[in-house]
Structure 1
Amino acid sequence: MSESLGDPASAEMNATAPETFRARFETSRGTFVVESNRAWSPNGVDRFYNLVRGGFFNDVRFFRVIAGFMAQFGINGDPVIQGSWRDANIPDDPVLMGNTRGRVSFATAGPNTRSTQLFINFGDNSRLDEMGFSPIGEVIEGMEVVDALYSGYGEGAPNGNGPSQGRIQAEGNAYLEADFPSLDYIERATLVGEN
């Protein structure tokens, strides 16, 4: 894990991504690979590249998995690390590609609020395009692994029985392991060709 992981403003966490690269996600269900193309969403791809490179996604839960819709992840299991990234937002990118099956996009809470949370589309969610969700890549291997992620908890609190994002931010993996033990998780995410 990068020493700069706790400092979103560091040069190391703000490197420009290659034009294309692949990230391997080793999970509790198996492995999948995301290919990113910087031309699709430059700000988003740069952030994704640096988060993977820095080890941000290691031991991170898929905390919101809605069958037929998407699988969301990207809240660090360590509340101290997550706290440093919570307001480290990046500017929006134009939506150049659609939110179709296997595409990966950042979650947002409104304009220019992308930070560390991403989701993988299970199906055609092109209705999200006009809402500003700009895909940063797509799953090119292992989509069956993504399809198999545990979705039994459904929507998060307060609208459903799943985890509260506020509590994940504050309490990290300790909360999820105690109250939502069936959640699948990323064991390790690495850039293909790097260790």
Structure 2
Amino acid sequence: TIMKMLYSGLFLLSILAFSTSFQIRLSTFELRNRPSQKSCLYNFLDDYKSSIDGPEDGSVDGEFPPSVCPSEIHRIRFSTTAGDFTIRLDRALSPSGVARFLELVDDGFFNEQLLYRVDPGFVIQFGIACDPQLQSRWDPKAGAPIAPLPDEPNRQKFRAGSVSFAGSGIDSRSCHFCIALEPFGEDLGTSPHETVLGNIEVEDGGILALESIVRNREDQGYGNLLDIQGSLTRGGNAAVISQYPGVDRIVACGRI
């Protein structure tokens, strides 16, 4: 009986030692493989967690915060080197965001701008003026004497053709914008600056123009060109156009 108790005790001790050793190895593995806060994987996991937990305002399953002002539609016609499209803005979606967009249109800010970033299946991005002096009127990072806009809650699900500010986190909306492309652009809306302002009208072939922009970029082989933002901001179109002569641009835009 004593021997049986002794063997049983030794057996339990061996199991405990193995379990402790396994937990130590597992913890070490997790620490070594935990993504850095600066890595894309970390950001992706954060976004994935947000999609599970739901937005902070408590809305769930397609429920969005109510508008704080009545609907007010503004239509902006863009002529580009790849075709024309119309953006239909609704002030009810983002009152201050739509107001800023209209100010930029009226100032001629978008005229001759390069559609510099093209990520097929994700976004088309613009918002850097052809002239650095014009950029410095609207972009705080380029010396503009204005603050970025405070964030507003997103009130509409992103879809292909949705228009939103591009930004870098909380209260970073200034003069940079993106147009969502399918399928991955439909997942936007988790970052604080990602608030839908309006959408590309499909009735006049606007989506075809977006497809042409994407197809041209793929044919050129330039990549997404996100890394030319700095040069473009400092030197305008002249700083990059000789190296990337085929980049599509906005010829002109205005209210209709």
Q: What TM bracket, shorter-length normalisation?
A: 0.7 to 0.9
When normalised by structure 2's length, the TM-score is: 0.63
1:153 equivalent among 207, 216, 222: 222
**How many Å apart are 1:147 and its aligned residue?**
1.4
**How many Å apart are 1:93 and its aligned residue?**
1.0
**How many Å apart are 1:130 and its aligned residue?**
1.7
Q: Using the alignment, how far apart are the partners of 1:109 and 1:27 within structure 2? A: 26
Residue 156 (structure 2) aligns with: 97
Give CA-to-partner distance per residue, 1:77-114, whole Å, 9 cap, x none.
Answer: 10111122221411111011122111011101111111
Structure 1: gaps of 5 or more residues: 1-17, 158-162
Query: 3-state SS of the aligned residue for 2:116?
Result: strand
Amino acid at match of 2:80: T
Identical amino acids, percent of aligned pairs: 35
Query: 3-state SS of the aligned residue for 1:25?
Result: strand
> Mapping of 1:101-180 within 5 angstroms?
101-124=160-183, 125-132=185-192, 133-140=194-201, 141=204, 142-149=206-213, 150-151=216-217, 152-156=221-225, 163-180=227-244
- The answer on whether the counterparts of 1:122 and 1:147 sit within 8 Å (CA) in structure 2 is no
Structure 2: gaps of 5 or more residues: 1-70, 141-145
Q: Could you say which structure has the higher helix fraction?
A: 2
Q: Using the alignment, how far apart are the partners of 1:127 and 1:31 within structure 2? A: 25
Q: Could you say which structure has the higher strand fraction?
A: 1
Residue 36 (structure 1) aligns with: 89
Give CA-to-partner distance per residue, 1:42-72, whole Å, 9 cap, x none.
Answer: 1111111111122110000000001111100
Q: Using the alignment, how far apart are the partners of 1:134 and 1:71 within structure 2? A: 16
**How many Å apart are 1:74 and its aligned residue?**
1.0
The alignment covers a number of residue pairs equal to: 170
**How many Å apart are 1:126 and its aligned residue?**
3.8
Whether 1:25 aligns to 2:84 is no
Greater relative contact order structure (CA < 8 Å, 6+ sep): 1
When normalised by structure 1's length, the TM-score is: 0.82
2:127 equivalent among 74, 79, 82: 74
Query: 3-state SS of the aligned residue for 1:105?
Result: strand
